Amino acid sequence: MWLDIFQKFKASGFNAISVYFFWSYHSPAEGVYDFEASGKNVQRLFDYAKQAGIWIIARPGPYCNAETNGGGLALWGSDGSMGTLRTSEATYYESWQPWVAQIGALIASNEITKGGPVILSQIENELQETTHSATNTLVVYMEQLETAFRAAGVTVPFSHNEKGERSMSWSTDYEDVGGAVNVYGLDSYPGGLSCTNVNTGFSVVRNYYQWFSNYSYTQPNFFPEFEGGYFTPWGGSFYDACTAEHDPAFADVYYKNNIGQRATLQSLYMAWGAAAPVVYTSYDYSAPLRETREIQDKLSQTKLIGLFTRVSTDLLKTYMVGNGTGYATSSTGIWTWEIRNPDTNAGFYVVQQATTSSQASVTFSVNLDTSQGTISVPNVNLNGRQSKILVTDYNFGSHTLLYCSADILTYGVFDKDVLVLYLENGQVGQFALESSLNSTQKIYGSSNVTATPSAGVTTFTYTQGAGQTVVEFDGVLIYLLEQKTAWKFWAPPTTTNPDVKPNEQIFVLGPYLVRNSSVSHGVVHISGDNDNSTTIEVYTGNSDIQTIDWNGIRLDAKKTYYGSVTARIPGASDRTISLPALDNWRSADSLPEKNPSYDDSKWIVCNKTTTLSPVAALTKPVLFSSDYGFYTGAKIYRGYFDGLNYTTVNITASGGLAFGWTAWLNGALVGGNVGNASLTTTNSVLTLPTSSLKTSNNLLTVVVDYHGHDETSTAKGVENPRGILGASLIGFSASNGTSSTGFKLWKIQGNAGGSSNIDPVRGPMNEGGLYGERLGWPLPSFVPSSPQFGHSSPFDGLNSSGIEFYTTTFHLDIDSDLDVPLGIELSAPSETIARVMVWVNGYQYGKFVPHIGPQTRFPFPPGVVNNRGLNTLALSLWAMTDAGAQLDTVQLIKYGQYQTDFAFNQDWSYLQPGWNKSRLAYA
């Protein structure tokens, strides 16, 4: 789906995408690297970016943070074998060198200077330079990284991201003792918004200009990460409830505020996000592009700013003229930034409420300095959390705006210059253009427009009406758009160069999305997506256009009086989408390991008495899962002991925030910990029932869930061990010759093949150690058969503790010209204490924990699912108490439906390798 995502951002005025490359994803084991398997084909990603006409800012780490597993560090180093992380220490240096050499070579071969899309490469991530000394280990580390990437052939500028205004790191303009990058960057997440209270937060930061002036004054002002939303934690609110984070006003106020402070590069974090282990399954982030790949209003508003900056090249060289409360305005309730281009004298006044959280409607006048003197413009209105960029001496094509109090969306150079402005319905706009004595204007639309000529300038004053109004004047065409109408305005380029010029566009109004456009033989070809049937309007400047081709559908075009063409395009709202019911389930026990009769002779014996981990084992032998080559997913332990006189067992386990674990004695539940949203490690002392004890060979089976390895924001980071940290029996006599813990033997089992990555397509983090996972039950072409599999469903569930696997198949028959983002919805009866995982065609795509929450809906994209054809669905249901567990909802859902010509329906078999009998070896 990368091409789909890139095209949506390009259409929204973005010219670059910042992309992480995770060491953990490409290197399942030390010395093993994969850049070619389907999901890891980095070259394909670069090719898609070039095809979409978008640049790449590469972020290859080796540490990325990103709320990803271990911050992106290779998980094979989670056993402590990588040394002292993120320093110049020799062991760590030797660990990351091969990664940088290989990913660096791929980045180098795709640089802009070689015809590729890569324009910047970020070194490390939010590494704070705490000591400005050439011999400091962090300075040496940064020097090592830069040398290694240059040795790999990378020649584009290096960048880095300061972790907020907390330190002054790696700028050539501030105490450069080594390790400085070419382009300093500052990350900022100023929103402070609440998921449930839209009245909180919304206070912009107004010292960015001063910060950059102090610490990177010779460089462009760069935000490598600026807030595009935020993640919510286990046990919190789901993203759909975070209405404040989804508000398009956020983009309107915050991003324009940055323009007012002379920002010249801004990257949104996240612009689009997907699953991450530090939070619950989804990392939608309330981002402008939803995890389902759907455009949200916040992206539509961001597009208005993106298309404005794309053509407003005067913003690339400005100086600060002045700023402050009441500056250049009649109201002390308004804050203004005035910046100006020293070469063209084009001025930009960014106005916002002094208290940006205010939801009041404020009207004021602004004093604008123009080439014809200072002009006072009345009736400028900010409706609550709104911002505007007013311009002076703004050149567009062969014309100049003396001033304008409405927001400019964009302009294009066609057979005539076309200017596009937007306001909210009912707001007043005013602009002035040079004119001749006999200039006339024609007005089409609902807005009330008045033209007043005077001394070679004609001033237009208008009240924005619903929809659109078009003004023809003196060789200029001016679209006056209501803001919500502007959200459906597109300017698809006629070039694949990310640097789009004003004469390399077509203007389109109406559809949900426009991906591409071109003109040939009197036909304008438009590729895009559309939800509701609507009128499309296209301006090409070509008077020969008679036909609009929308997604291959030829439509007779009607010409407007002002030179555009219109037609009616289909949507998808009237299309019937039938999603099948999920039935015909087969089920099988996925925890035979709790039974003493289970054969674990092939399991790994936990026999290590020392560990490289910086965290000490609480008991011996060491039971850390990474020490035995199992990094991701659930782990299963079997501990043996003799004797009847043990009363309790003390277990400490770790698996990441909200993980849980359960223990059984000789098949009988003894307890565990059901999980805590704020704890990565938990401890419990469990009572051992005398009725379940035997004289010899007692078996304690412990299943430990896994929610990822820590980032380095948590002490020890990825090296914080997972699995069992310590286990001791209590109530025994040490004279019986057993070890100090009472256990005589421990064995461990994890994901099938451990670090050997037996499913490279889905990758090293897709599977865990549950019995059904190891045997490949979620994989396409696996056929459940009797007597192992019965016919119960998740609605029947379990009547006691345990883990059950459920599988079924379903067919989809979605029309090939539709994009229907799909997902699965789960629910369970109240008081259910359970853990559920979801697999679609072998991809683990959801973790449902009803007693912690919040997520109940889990999207999955085409490629993972076949829109037309057979699909395999699997669920694991882990009942954590003897009350058992069942589900009361398991159903496919659609998030929307869009008519499209994107190839969502294709042969995805290369992404969906199936089951084979080699899996039986992992029983």
- Rounded-to-integer distance, Cα 599 and Cα 198, Å: 57
What DSSP string runs through 491-540?
A: --BSSS-SS--TTSB-EEESSSEEEEEEEETTEEEEEEEESS-EEEEEE-
- Rounded-to-integer distance, Cα 736 and Cα 729, Å: 13
Q: Could you give the residue numbers annotated as active site?
A: 126, 225
- Rounded-to-integer distance, Cα 820 and Cα 340, Å: 46
Contacts of 399 (CB under 8 A, 6+ apart): 417, 419, 433, 434, 475, 476
Give a three-class secondary structure readout of 772-838. HHHCCCCCCCCCCCCCCCECCCCCCCECCCEEEEEEEEEEEECCCCEECCEEEEEECCCCCCEEEEE
**Amino acid identity for residue 262 in this structure:** R
Q: Are 160 and 169 in contact (CB under 8 A)?
A: yes
**Residue written as token pair 């850049």:** 35
Q: Largest Cα–Cα distance in the chain?
A: 111
How long is the chain? Answer: 923
- Rounded-to-integer distance, Cα 4 and Cα 497, Å: 18
Contacts of 394 (CB under 8 A, 6+ apart): 312, 314, 346, 400, 401, 404, 408
Q: Are 389 and 378 in contact (CB under 8 A)?
A: no
**Amino acid identity for residue 288 in this structure:** P
H or E segment and range at residue 630:
none
- Taking CA 832 as the corner, what is the angle to CA 829 and CA 834, rounded to the nearest 5 degrees? 125
Q: In what order do the strands lie in the sheet with 158-159?
A: 16-20, 55-59, 118-122, 158-159
Residue 14 in tokens = 């973005």
- Taking CA 282 as the corner, what is the angle to CA 280 and CA 285, rounded to the nearest 5 degrees? 105
Q: Are 412 and 444 in contact (CB under 8 A)?
A: no
Q: Are 809 and 816 in contact (CB under 8 A)?
A: no
- Taking CA 872 as the corner, what is the angle to CA 867 and CA 875, rounded to the nearest 5 degrees? 125
As beta bridge partners, residue 891 has 825
Q: Are 304 and 389 in contact (CB under 8 A)?
A: no
Q: Are 642 and 693 in contact (CB under 8 A)?
A: no
- Rounded-to-integer distance, Cα 556 and Cα 841, Å: 43
